[in-house]
Amino acid sequence: MTGVAISRTQQFRIDARRLAARIETLGGVGAIAGGGVCRLALSDEDRAGRDLVVGWMRELGLTVAIDAIGNVVGVRQGLESGPPVMAGSHIDTVSTGGRYDGNLGVLAGLEVVRTLNEAGMVTRRPLAVAFFTNEEGARFSPDMMGSLVFVGGLPLDAALATVGIDGASVGDCLQRIGYAGTARCGNTPVHAYVELHIEQGPVLDADGFTIGAVEGVQGISWTEFTVGGIANHAGTTPMRLRHDAGYVACAIASHARAIAREVGGDQVATAGAVALSPNLVNVIPFKAVITVDLRNTDEAMLQAAEHRLHAYAAEVAAAEGVTLSHRTLARFEPVAFDPAVVNLVEETARALGHSVRRMPSGAGHDAQMLARICPAAMIFVPSADGISHNVQEFTSLPDLEAGANVLLQVLLKLAA
């Protein structure tokens, strides 16, 4: 930073009401009952949300680039050229999402830009605000797809060919919504990346902390099991003669939970999607497709849980006389964020008078992909009652303000 005394930049503060107004406006796009949002990646609602945010970026004077996987990066020039300091997150949601997951990080980045514009402040390095395609992975696997392609971790062609839960491909959907951009992905240098996000878990709220300095993200393993049985009459078929695909799927789900309870600690397990065919009350299912999401902060323990689950699935399928296949939808090892940036988040939050807790992230985030190419870290703010991926997701205005001011000051230091 030149031309502006450091002491003056330390006084800069975002306007929380403006930030909240943007969260409210974006939350109105794809709004669903109960105050929530459904903007599945690359849907019409996602397009409308994108158009709104891109418009805001242009109003703020950012130079907007859209890459071939639909990631959007708005750059604010610095006194010097070179890789930008980037703030970002995502604006897609799960189909029962809230207004804050992802959206906060993007809109707080815009509020930082607005604050600097009004102060006439130009940073030494450029600043960028980004939103990445399909972070949620609810429609297309894997999650964090856009940021993974951005850092060169997934070939563009493979990402574009991915078919979602409704049979549509990423490439076709990008074309349809007009976000198959021309900027190349996979070779954009970034000086540092900071993502403000709601915690999405109970820790900060329950323990009374305002800011989480996120040290890393736990490992994620998503598997889809497909079970093939034989349809038959529910009333006439003796139990010993059944080849019940539905039963086997349910047994896998139940065992995943048993593994997590037994392993304890950070191990979690979720069977979030199940589809039975023909899905009728009086027909033994001939097909079942079930997903299992396993996560752990420890890679070896995560692998052990995966092995146990696969061994059990094979055993129960053999005993029932059904076929079993599986495919991996997503697999990411635990990620540690850059210690210097984590420390910067913690020190900055304390200097602003906030209570801070160092913690891991239970959810996946674009920051874990950016960490492959630059120093990266995250700032968490509390989620009321730890509720997320739910229309009732809520973070209070003072907490939004605190997080956005930490983001502002961290970006200023990294860009100086």
Residues binding ligand GLV (CB under 6 A): 136, 143, 363-364
CB of 363 to ligand GLV, least distance (A): 4
CB of 143 to ligand GLV, least distance (A): 5
Among Mn ion, ligand GLV, none, what does residue 143 contact (CB within 5–8 Å per kind)?
ligand GLV
Among 34-42, 71-79, 94-102, 267-275, which window interacts with Mn ion (CB under 5 A)?
94-102
Tokens of 358: 């160092």
φ, ψ of residue 189 in degrees (nearest 5)? -70, 140
Indicate the Cα dihedral angle 134, 137, 141, 143, nearest 10°: 80
CA angle, corner 367, sides to 8 and 292, nearest 5? Answer: 150
CB of 145 to ligand GLV, least distance (A): 11
Among ligand GLV, Mn ion, none, what does residue 199 contact (CB within 5–8 Å per kind)?
none
Return the number of the residue (160 or 363) whose C-beta is nearest ligand GLV.
Answer: 363
Closest listed residue to residue 134, CA positions, set 10, 42, 213:
42
What CA–CA distance (Å, rounded) separates 297 from 337? 13
- Per-residue contact string for residues 100-139; x = within reach of Mn ion by CB under 5 A: -xx-------------------------------------
| 356 contacts 349 by C-beta, under 8 angstroms | yes
Among Mn ion, ligand GLV, none, what does residue 201 contact (CB within 5–8 Å per kind)?
none
Segment 264 to 283, residues that bind Mn ion, using CB under 5 A: none
What CA–CA distance (Å, rounded) separates 367 from 59? 26
Return the number of the residue (46 or 244) whose C-beta is nearest Mn ion.
Answer: 46
CB of 118 to Mn ion, least distance (A): 28
Closest listed residue to residue 228, CA positions, set 327, 167, 317, 292:
317
| 91 contacts 26 by C-beta, under 8 angstroms | yes
Q: How many residues does the chain have?
A: 416
Q: Which helix (H) or strand (E) holds 64?
A: strand 63-66
Q: Where are the extended beta strands (E) located within 77-141?
A: 85-89, 127-131
CB of 127 to ligand GLV, least distance (A): 25
CB of 140 to ligand GLV, least distance (A): 13
Return the number of the residue (142 or 181) whose C-beta is nearest ligand GLV.
Answer: 142
Chain residues in the site for Mn ion (CB under 5 A): 101-102
